[in-house]
Structure 1
């Protein structure tokens, strides 16, 4: 009896060892966002975490396929939510270039202060940027210091199409994003959904992006749409309200695309 019991326990132990070996890979496959927990819980993001339930930072990084050592651009960084998220995700050997357009700073000077604040936690004792670097320039010509593995732009693509921008801004900016990526690099776009056919009016009046207009502009520049995600889908959004209206703000339907520059 004791021999049988020992054999049963040994078999159970071996089975447990086997499942322990396989479990991490299965868990990562089921929830790839978990690999970014260090970035999500970084102390520099303490003020950002109140928005995480809706903005899904781990899922965004997983969709963008950000890796340690990557060189990533945050295009139109706004208040720095994505910049701070990327700062830890790329690791000590990676770099983040946080771009704030001069047009935005001219319109709202606080954007310059928010850029400085986003960079501050990632500076050395001399106040010099380490791993996270500020970039300023015209919206259509950021002037990235080096080729990028990935560019992420969140809720900003429509700004290229608003009437306040000079004619041709969208085409020039998208061409620049394409040229700034390494061969095989990716562009990740998240934006508020407009009704089909909304076109330029939706961008200017509602701050929403007509998906068909966006898709044509991006693929005309050479990008290949690799994957679409319903990560930020909100079926209850009628797509007709300005995204800053209190009734819909923070709960808009958004598309998320990963596009690739062919190698």
Structure 2
């Protein structure tokens, strides 16, 4: 093999594997974030099931990113996202009620703002790179504002809040095929097909999905907090993109 041929073969291999190399690098860089002694031990115990480093890499969150997080709860992902975006990025945690835990955390992290919102709103000072929500979309379906459910309002708000080319990232508990939105208030699950249809209806395009949190042993018949299934539910990961034009 000639030297020119070797160079060409190396270039082809590099292009073919660059995506995997970037993703792996992002996971490695987040080890320090996950090991932060400021993270609660209870959060660290959940890392094996929730795979946060891999999710951050898949969503494309990186140093300097701006992120609007919807339904941050106790701040499990808030703390990780804040570490991932670094000092040059910013995380806006959207909360429907006061969160002393997140407010205390924001007091010592200049790149985190806790923002009080009404259901279906996203309030950011400028368009963001990523709108992120995990295990919340089914609950958005369970609430209404006037004649609209909060999911529809949230999807429209996410489209408006994102930069052109920005990412709308959704993770939730999978429902059985054909269940659609019928078990959002009972089993706290939703079918991925229903989410895709609703999100694309406001202008997003499904770019890709991941089976990272798939659990074949989950038959989708149990409520997500029942003993034996909690933390082990079959979950879908959807990455939508706002068109650049």
- TM-score higher than 0.5: yes
TM-score range, shorter chain: 0.7 to 0.9
Residue 216 of structure 1, aligned match among 189, 197, 208? 197
Residues 1:41 and 2:41 aligned together: no
Q: Indicate the structure (1 or 2) with the bigger Cα radius of gyration.
A: 1
- Structure 1 partner of 2:70: 75
Please give the alpha-carbon distance, in whole angstroms, between the structure 1 residues aligned to 2:166 and 2:135: 20
Structure 1 residue 29, shift from structure 2 partner? 4.9
Structure 1 residue 160, shift from structure 2 partner? 1.2
Residue 180 of structure 2, aligned match among 199, 221, 224? 199
- Structure 2 partner of 1:132: 112
CA contact (8 A) 2:182 2:190 kept: no
Q: 1:138 and 1:27, CA in 2 relative to 1: closer, same or farther beyond 3 A?
A: closer
Task: Give the count of matched residue pairs.
Answer: 224
Residue 182 of structure 1, aligned match among 139, 159, 163? 163
Map 1:2-41 onto structure 2 (within 5 A).
28-29=21-22, 31-32=24-25, 33-41=27-35
Calculate the TM-score normalised by the size of structure 2.
0.85
Residues 1:84 and 2:90 aligned together: no
- Structure 2 partner of 1:241: 222
Q: For residues 147-191 of structure 1, give each alpha carbon's deviation from its aligned partner in whole angstroms, at most 9, with x where no partner exists.
A: 1101110000111111x4344122111100111000000011110
Structure 1 residue 114, shift from structure 2 partner? 3.2
What root-mean-square deviation, in Å, do the aligned CA atoms of Structure 1 and Structure 2 show? 2.0
Please give the alpha-carbon distance, in whole angstroms, between the structure 2 residues aligned to 1:170 and 1:84: 25
Structure 1 residue 57, shift from structure 2 partner? 1.3
Structure 1 residue 94, shift from structure 2 partner? 0.6
Question: Gapped runs of 5+ residues in structure 2?
Answer: 1-13
Calculate the TM-score normalised by the size of structure 1.
0.80
Q: Which has the higher helix share?
A: 1
Residues 1:142 and 2:136 aligned together: no
Residues 1:250 and 2:243 aligned together: no
Please give the alpha-carbon distance, in whole angstroms, between the structure 2 residues aligned to 1:30 and 1:70: 16
Q: For residues 209-252 of structure 1, give each alpha carbon's deviation from its aligned partner in whole angstroms, at most 9, with x where no partner exists.
A: 11111010011011111111011010000111111111211110
Q: Helix, strand or coil for the counterpart of 2:224?
A: coil
